[in-house]
A and B are shown apart, each in its own frame.
Chain A
Amino acid sequence: MSLITITEVRKSFGQNEVLKGINLDVAAGEVIAIIGKSGSGKSTLLRCINGLETINHGSITVAGAQLAPDEVHLRALRLKVGMIFQGFNLFPHLTAGRNVMLSPMVVKKVSQKEAEAEARVRLEQVGLAHKFDAYPDELSGGQQQRVAIARALAMKPLALLCDEITSALDPELVNEVLAVVKKLAEEGMTLLMVTHEMRFAREVCDRVVFMHQGRVHEIGPPEEVFANPQTAELRQFLGQS
């Protein structure tokens, strides 16, 4: 039984069809890397899964929660699946701790005391317990991204979507974020990540999805996909990267 079921998903921006019938099933605990050229639709696919984009056709369900454009359905879906962004998107007016506490308190009506305890645990988990009272602009990019991960985890999602989460980081900060993601993967978190970190995808992921022109072009375990690409497009992509 898969946790995330994506069936025949199509998505257009105006005349431009970005997703041309995507089918993908993700099992609980699976770690999936989505790779491909920019414009291949990989970020759009990720954004569709938690309803940041509407879809024109097909269906997406996460643990029984169906993607639908109304607020009730979106809320149910987003309680199951969290998202980390390229630009961190921490709330700049709140401390790291408050960033993590906000949504549990507001959405799940958790008491302040409980939320604070949970936030401390989550910040500890990403190695930033000592930054509880720091504001985002006092943190490095890598630290901000780790707070963003803690913030998503505090909602206890069943799956996390990671949209190029290391692309905006200085090279020396990439590893501290990837280390956190790797630990999550080992603990059994279901992860769908759009990434350019091929080495990471090879080491950590169970399956690699290669997207090309709005379709899943190749899919398989990393050893197969990287060592033995079946299509000219994937060979070319891997040669480039």
Chain B
Amino acid sequence: MTQFTTWDIVSNLLLAARWTVLLSILAFIGGGVVGLVVLYCRIARKVWLQRAANLYIELFQGTPLLMQLFLIFFGLPLMGLDVSPWAAAFVSLTLWTSAFLAEIWRGCVESIPKGQWEASSSLAMSFFEQLRYVVLPQALRIAVPPTVGFSVQVVKGTALTSIIGFVELSKASTIITNATFEPFTVYGFAALIYFVLCWPLSKSSQLLERKLNVAHHHH
């Protein structure tokens, strides 16, 4: 039987971790863009848009990410769209992320005092201009710590995509375990890699929160 060194295990895990990182980044960017659109609908002055955005958010927050993955991976082919595990993983993580980010950001927007809306209204700005130049720049400052904090959830969320056959860190761990029969070592290292990815994110979220709270200056 072939012998595997620890380095064999770790190096293969690290190679797979690249996909975890890439998927996280893409899902986070995609989720951010879609999340902005959902946020806009959620706070728009049109009731039907608000309702639609609300439904969207509740749907994705109210069902397990795993089910969303399954539905997209197995559902789209039923409609004649062939999706690779990679595409299914990206699409479902993007949608899932967008729902949570939109809801986080909505809270930030709503924490901006009503007077800011009224002052910009009275200066003849449109809703979009108010958002773009007055409300979002202020909301952004408040939004940075919880947004960075949520990125940890995205990284951990990528682990689920192993189930539809996308070879990222978790899937690679299972494959390597099947070859080495050393589950504890393999999963231990995998967990360590996840931790190394996530810990700086949660730490920086905490630091940012403190920094933005203390420095009440906007320069």
- Give CA–CA (A103, B218) in the complex, Å: 20
Contact in complex: A75, B124 (CB < 8 Å): yes
Q: Is A92 within 8 A of B138, CB to CB? A: yes
CA distance A135 to B129 in the complex (A): 21
Residues on B with beta carbons closer than 8 Å to the beta carbon of A82 = 122-123
Chain B residues, Cβ within 8 Å of A51:
121
Considering only residues 174-207 of chain A, those with a C-beta below 8 Å from chain B are none
The contact string, 1 if C-beta is below 8 Å from chain A, for chain B 104-122, is: 0000000001011011111
Is A78 in the interface zone, CB < 8 Å from B? yes
| B127-A103 in contact (CB<8A) | no
Q: How far is the CA of A75 from the CA of B128 in the complex (A)?
A: 13
Within the complex, what minimum Cβ distance (angstroms) separates B85 from chain A?
43
Q: Please report the C-alpha to C-alpha distance between residue A83 and residue B216 in the assembled complex, in whole angstroms.
A: 27
CA–CA, A137 to B124, complex, Å?
A: 24
Whether A75 and B126, one on each chain, are in contact in the complex, defined by CB atoms closer than 8 angstroms, is: yes
Also in contact, A103 and B115, with CB within 8 A (given A92-B138, A93-B218, A135-B218): no
User: From residue B128, how far is it (CB to closest CB) to chain A in Å?
Assistant: 10
Q: Which of B127, B129, B134, B141 contacts A91 (CB 8 A)?
A: B134
Interface class of chain B by DSSP: helix
Q: Does A87 contact B (CB under 8 A)?
A: yes
Cα distance A93–B107 when bound, in Å?
A: 19
Q: A78 — nearest CB in chain B belongs to which residue?
A: B124
Of residues 100 through 145 on chain A, the ones whose CB sits less than 8 Å from some CB of chain B are: 102-103, 106-107, 135, 137
A89 within 8 A of B: yes
A78→B121 contact, CB < 8 A: yes
Q: A78-B122, A93-B137, A137-B217 are in contact. Are A87 and B127 (CB under 8 A)?
A: no
B121 touches A85 (CB 8 A): no
CB of B106 to closest CB in A, whole Å: 19
Sorting the interface of chain A by its residue count into under 10, 10 to 19, 20 to 34 or 35 or more gives 20 to 34
Q: A89, B126: Cβ atoms under 8 Å?
A: no
In the complex, what distance in Å separates the CA atom of A155 from the CA atom of B95?
42
Complex interface residues of chain A between 60 and 83 (CB less than 8 A to chain B): 71, 74-75, 78-79, 82-83
State whether A106 touches B127 (Cβ < 8 A).
Answer: no
Is A52 among interface residues, defined by CB-CB distance under 8 A? Answer: yes
Hey, which chain B residues are within 8 Å of A78, CB to CB? 121-124
A68 → B minimal CB distance (Å): 15
Whether the Cβ atoms of B115 and A87 lie closer than 8 Å is: yes
- Which of A90, A92, A106 is within 8 Å of B125, CB to CB? A106
Interface residues in B111-159 by Cβ distance below 8 A to A read: 113, 115-116, 118-127, 129, 133-134, 137-138, 141
Central interface residue in A74, A107, A135, by most chain B CB within 10 Å: A107
Distance in angstroms from B76 CB to nearest chain A CB is 39
Verify A71–B126 contact, CB threshold 8 A.
Answer: yes
Given contacts A102-B133, A106-B133, are A91 and B119 in contact (CB under 8 A)?
yes
Q: Which residue of B lies closest to A87 (CB)?
A: B115
Question: Taking the nearest CB of chain B, how far is it from the CB of A193, in angstroms?
Answer: 15
For the complex formed, measure the closest distance between the CB of A86 and the CB atoms of chain B, giving whole angstroms: 9
Nearest CB in chain A to that of B122: its residue: A83
Partner of B122 from A52, A93, A137 at Cβ < 8 Å? A52
A23 to chain B, nearest CB (A): 24
Distance of A116 from chain B, by nearest CB (Å): 16
A89–B129 touching, CB < 8 Å: no
Contact of B124 among A79, A91, A93 (CB under 8 A): A79
Report Cα–Cα, A135/B218, bound state, in Å: 8
Q: Which residue in chain A gives the minimum CB-CB distance to B140?
A: A93
Which of A79, A106, A148, A151 is B129 in contact with, Cβ under 8 Å?
A: A106
CA distance A26 to B218 in the complex (A): 41
In whole angstroms, how far apart are the Cα atoms of A36 and B218 in the complex? Answer: 39
A106 to chain B, nearest CB (A): 5
Would you give 29 A-B contacts (Cβ < 8 Å), ordered by A?
A50-B122, A51-B121, A52-B118, A82-B123, A83-B118, A83-B122, A85-B115, A85-B119, A87-B115, A89-B116, A89-B119, A90-B119, A91-B119, A91-B134, A91-B138, A93-B138, A93-B218, A102-B123, A103-B124, A103-B125, A106-B129, A106-B133, A107-B125, A135-B217, A135-B218, A137-B217, A148-B119, A155-B123, A155-B124
| Contact surface of B with A, Cβ cutoff 8 Å | 113, 115-116, 118-127, 129, 133-134, 137-138, 141, 216-219
